[in-house]
Amino acid sequence: MVSQESFVNEGRLTRSRRLSMINIGSLDEKIVLFMEGEVRMPREIGFGVVGLGMGKHHCKAIDAAPNAKLIAVCDVDEERLERMTQQYGCKGYRLYAEMLVDPEIQVVNIATPSGMHAEMGIQAADAGKHVIVEKPADIAPQRVDSLIEAGRRNKVKMAGIFQSRFEPLNIRIREAIQQGKMGDLVGVHGHLPWYRAQSYFEGPHGSWKGTWNMDGGGSLMNQGVHTVDLLQWFAGPVSEVSAFFGVFGHDIEAEDHAVAVLRYQCGAMGTLYTTTCCYPGLNQRITLFGTKGTIVKEEGQLKVWKVMEDVDGAIEREMMDLYGEKKGQNASADPMAVGFDGHTQIVMDLVEAIEKDREPTLSVTQAKHAVEIVCAVYQAGRTGQSVRLA
Ligand SMILES: NC(=O)c1ccc[n+]([C@@H]2O[C@H](COP(=O)([O-])OP(=O)(O)OC[C@H]3O[C@@H](n4cnc5c(N)ncnc54)[C@H](O)[C@@H]3O)[C@@H](O)[C@H]2O)c1
């Protein structure tokens, strides 16, 4: 047995003649075993997190991920900064520019208000850092393009965050669609009847929420963008959008209820609604039906798996056993009730992407279409005209 420090080597891959590492850790614990053998040892990658609201989840995720090390956190809020540096024994920066010149940091996780994402990501890339950026990648597609371009220019990796894509049930649903088990998709419907009290939009960390220039919208761009991404990840790109939106139950600038009709490139049609007005917060519901089957899920729980070719119902039973019951909280009423397993997988994936010099599984390029769809919904709602997406 050796200590973990023995394979950390100033950002270079090291080679050990005697020891290899097997990761058998759960996401909550780093557990590593070492065995005899000649293998390449992965280096530990240094992370810095900016924005310590959702950034707290990033710290947990980095802490849980093998070969990732939280080097520093950054926030202009001294209290949040102090709390996290104490908790993780890491460095703390009040100024982002100072964190960016820390040579121990190779990856910067950006969890500041959404309208700051591209600019902060570009700064990180220009400083030679890889980037993980919270959802949405930014609030306008053109800004996301600038971020992608900065990644290319600086030859750094750029990962987005839509943690739902890493949930096993969602992966199985996508596989079933791609393998043609549902036939041709006909209906692709996503509904998000969530609730946020007015207090969510107030105070030092609330006042940017529900604004056009920092949140890029309201219930759709902030809460709903996960659902939008999941729909297009299942069904493929959206080609046309019609929509309405408005403010009903909150004193905010943007919207707290958006309703849209979407046409997908694959030919399917669907509805989408998002709200933060639906007291006390009900489950997200996704209904998908094709010419050969129907799948319905609510949050992480499978409700219906009826596929014609599954004549004896064996697959349905397997799927219901695995995903038919899910207990615990979700974010329908509590914004911080999201877990961090998905974030941990995104961190682990980026570490591997750096190691193998490949694209992250969820690149910022892939995270862009959700922003395009959301912006098209807003444009359609404002103009009363349907909007075509390229
Ligand atoms: N993946 C998810 O499920 C999920 C959930 C919630 C929020 N988010 C995303 O995370 C981001 C942050 O949301 P939040 O709810 O945590 O907001 P928040 O306001 O609670 O946190 C943002 C933090 O950024 C800090 N900050 C602002 N400007 C800064 C600067 N120039 N330098 C350093 N720190 C700065 C603020 O002080 C604050 O602590 C948003 O983009 C949001 O969409 C994602």
**Pocket test residue of 112, 205, 214, 284 for ligand 1, highest count of atoms within 8 A of CB:** 112
**Pocket test residue of 49, 52, 54 for ligand 1, highest count of atoms within 8 A of CB:** 54
Name all residues whose Cβ lies below 6 A of ligand 1: 50-54, 74-77, 80, 96, 111-114, 134-135, 161, 163, 205, 222, 335, 338
> What is the Å distance from ligand 1's center to 358 Cα?
28
- Give 45-60 pLDDT, tens digit per residue: 999 999 999 999 999 9
10: pLDDT strictly greater than 80: no
* Of 188 and 38, more confident: 188
pLDDT average, residue stretch 62-91: 98
How does residue 35 score in pLDDT terms, banded at 50, 70 and 90? very low
Euclidean distance between CA atoms 377 and 390, whole angstroms:
14
Task: With both helix axes pointing from N to C terminus, report the angle between 314-323 and 168-178 in degrees, rounded to the nearest 10.
Answer: 150
How does residue 335 score in pLDDT terms, banded at 50, 70 and 90? confident
> What is the Å distance from ligand 1's center to 188 Cα?
30
> What is the Å distance from ligand 1's center to 38 Cα?
43
Q: Is the whole-model pTM more than 0.75? A: yes
Euclidean distance between CA atoms 294 and 181, whole angstroms:
10
How does residue 248 score in pLDDT terms, banded at 50, 70 and 90? very high
Return left, alpha or beta for 67; rule: phi > 0 is left, psi -120 to 50 is alpha, else beta.
left
CATH architecture of 165-333+371-388: 2-Layer Sandwich (3.30)
pLDDT reported for residue 32: 38
pLDDT average, residue stretch 321-348: 83
CATH 3.30.360.10 residue ranges in the chain?
A: 165-333+371-388
pLDDT average, residue stretch 332-349: 86
pLDDT average, residue stretch 207-220: 98
CATH 3.40.50.720 residue ranges in the chain?
A: 45-162+341-363
230: pLDDT strictly greater than 70: yes
pLDDT average, residue stretch 1-17: 32
Please report, rounded to a whole number, the percentage of residues in the chain having pLDDT higher than 70.
88
pLDDT reported for residue 328: 61
The DSSP bridge pattern shows strands 185-193 and 269-275 to be parallel
**Pocket test residue of 77, 108, 134, 139 for ligand 1, highest count of atoms within 8 A of CB:** 134
CATH number attached to the domain at 45-162+341-363: 3.40.50.720
pLDDT average, residue stretch 223-250: 98
pLDDT average, residue stretch 230-259: 98
- The identity of residue 249, as a single letter, is G
> What is the Å distance from ligand 1's center to 99 Cα?
17
Residue nearest to atom 27 of ligand 1 (CA): 112
> What is the Å distance from ligand 1's center to 205 Cα?
8
How does residue 62 score in pLDDT terms, banded at 50, 70 and 90? very high
Euclidean distance between CA atoms 341 and 356, whole angstroms:
22
**Mean pLDDT score across all residues of the chain:** 90
How does residue 330 score in pLDDT terms, banded at 50, 70 and 90? confident
